[in-house]
Homo-oligomer: A and B are copies of this chain.
Amino acid sequence: MATSQAALDEIKLAMASTNDIFNKEVFGKRNFAALADVYTKDARILPPGGSMVTGLPGITEFWANLIQSVNATSAVLQSLEVMPAGDGLVEIGEATLAIQPAGQEASDLRVKYVVYWRQDAGRWKWHVDIWN
């Protein structure tokens, strides 16, 4: 399925909006309910050093625990490549997480990620999310 440049540009804006929710709402305001606007209902995350988590409730619990345990305040995402893949998209990117665990200096944690995006309820959301 061909995706025109104009359509792709529009999709990239929608993706940036989703990524912004992850950064500003979920990390910035600890509004974990906003994860419903980031992940599809049956999304999968594959966190380093842990098991795959399937479904929005488990994913919400994962991020709530992680954000609170390392005292994270932002997660700035940068798309490096976006590849149209049928009804979805494959994105390669880099994330910078600002963290300050109890008793430690504030620091930045950098990760690489691959996200498989799907449309869900009129929004572009993360359906498969893996990072390292």
A residues at B contact (CB < 8 Å): 1, 44, 46-49, 52, 80-81, 83-88, 90, 92, 112-114, 116, 127-128, 130-132
Contact = CB atoms under 8 A, between A and B. Distances in A.
Contact of A49 (B1, B85, B88, B132): B132
Nearest to A51: B112
Nearest to A90: B116
A132 B46 contact: yes
Question: Helix, strand, loop or mixed for chain A's interface?
Answer: strand
Contacts of A128: 83, 90, 92, 114
A4 to B, nearest CB: 15
Given A1-B87, A84-B86, A112-B130, 17 more contacts: A44-B81, A44-B92, A46-B112, A48-B48, A52-B80, A52-B92, A52-B112, A83-B128, A85-B85, A85-B86, A85-B87, A85-B88, A85-B116, A86-B86, A92-B128, A130-B131, A131-B132
